[in-house]
Amino acid sequence: MTTAFALSLAMILDALMGEPKWLWDRLPHPAVLIGRLIGWADRRMNHGDRRKAKGVALLLSLVVGSGVLGLILDQIPFVDILLGAILLAHKSLIQHVKAVARALDTSLEAGRASVAMIVGRDTTDMDTPAVSRAAIESAAENFSDGVIAPAFWFLLLGLPGILIYKAVNTADSMIGYRTDRHRDFGWASARCDDLLNLIPARLTAVLLFPWGKPLSLWRSITTEARRHRSPNAGWPEAALSRSLGVALSGPRAYHGEMRDYPWVNPDGRPNATPRDIDMACARLWTAWAFTLVCVITLSFA
């Protein structure tokens, strides 16, 4: 069985099953196990001198350990398909994003509570457009690093590739912050995550590009992506914003502090709605289906 064929089956299985609650109520998800290991290392290693060196050591341990584990597990028939489906997160992403739209249909307070589960910014004072923008931005970014990037590394390196990617990505989400505690210790994980997402983020932008519209839009996407606060997240955001015709990003608050981030697609509609969230999810399904077709084609090449 080729890696491409295994990936196509994993993508289909993920789209059908998602993350079954009955299973993860009984067993820890692999990402949870990785997170526990990183949390333990953070508590034990992130103190005293040479924190950056300790963070590099943690990253190397995660990469080598995940790679070796992947090589071992890859000897078991069909485990690559099963773990691939578990480590991809397309259906669960759609479910979480759509939940924000359904919550907004109930009340603004419900929408704020729902979007707070998938974004790190302050949600207390958000209005409906801000909640909708946050959900759409989360959809774009997580489609890149939760679906396309793990699929990309699975396709290139098989089970070791997707395990390494998920370990690094989880480390970045836990310790890759520019805070006093994690600026040094999480530096290596953050930089490695940026590197591993470099190509997938741009591929995601291509997948989410509004085909049928002038290719000159790509120049604007490139410009906005390069001035985004993240070296990678701006690419899928800028592409999806133009597919929907809405403005994204802009000023927002973190921990009570307002940050004047630039708008993405500033000429788009300023007032995003729950219907735009639904349209974003539909656009992600289209991009997912095109990706699946490409992967299946590669499996017969």
Q: Give the three-state DSSP class for 252.
A: strand
3-state helix, strand, coil in the chain (%, to 5): 70, 5, 25
> Cβ neighbours of residue 18 under 8 Å, at least 6 residues apart?
91, 92, 95
Q: What is the pLDDT of residue 262?
A: 86
Residue type, 144: S
Taking 90 as the threshold, does the pLDDT of residue 142 lie above it? yes
The predicted structure's pLDDT at residue 256: 78
pLDDT single digits (tens) 153-185: 999 999 999 999 999 999 999 999 888 899 999
Which among 296, 32, 66, 82 is positioned nearest to 161, based on CA atoms?
Answer: 66
Q: Which two tokens stand for residue 134?
A: 């946050």
Instruction: Please tell me the total count of domains within the chain.
Output: 1
Show contacts of 63-67: CB within 8 Å, 24+ apart: 63/164, 63/167, 63/168, 63/192, 65/167, 66/160, 66/163, 66/164, 66/166, 66/167, 67/160, 67/163, 67/164
- Whether 153 and 166 have beta carbons less than 8 Å apart is answered as no
Each residue's pLDDT tens digit, 90-118: 999 999 999 999 999 999 999 999 999 99
Predicted model pTM: 0.94
Torsions phi, psi of 264, nearest 5?
Answer: -100, 125
Helix axes 90-106, 274-299, angle to 10 degrees: 170
Range of the domain at 53: 3-299
Q: How confident is the model at residue 19 (pLDDT cuts 50, 70, 90)?
A: confident
**Are 54 and 45 in contact, with CB atoms under 8 Å apart?**
yes
The per-residue pLDDT for 301 is 78
Q: What is the mean pLDDT of the chain?
A: 94
What residue type is 267 in one-letter code?
A: D
pLDDT of residue 34 exceeding 80, the answer is: yes
pLDDT band at 236 (very low <50, low <70, confident <90, very high): very high
Residue 286, both tokens: 């289209």
Element (H, E) at 264: strand 263-264
Closest CA to 37 of 60, 62, 68: 62
Question: What's the DSSP call for residue 262?
Answer: P
Question: Is the pLDDT score of 204 beyond 80?
Answer: yes
What's the rounded Cα separation, in Å, for the pair 235 and 126? 24
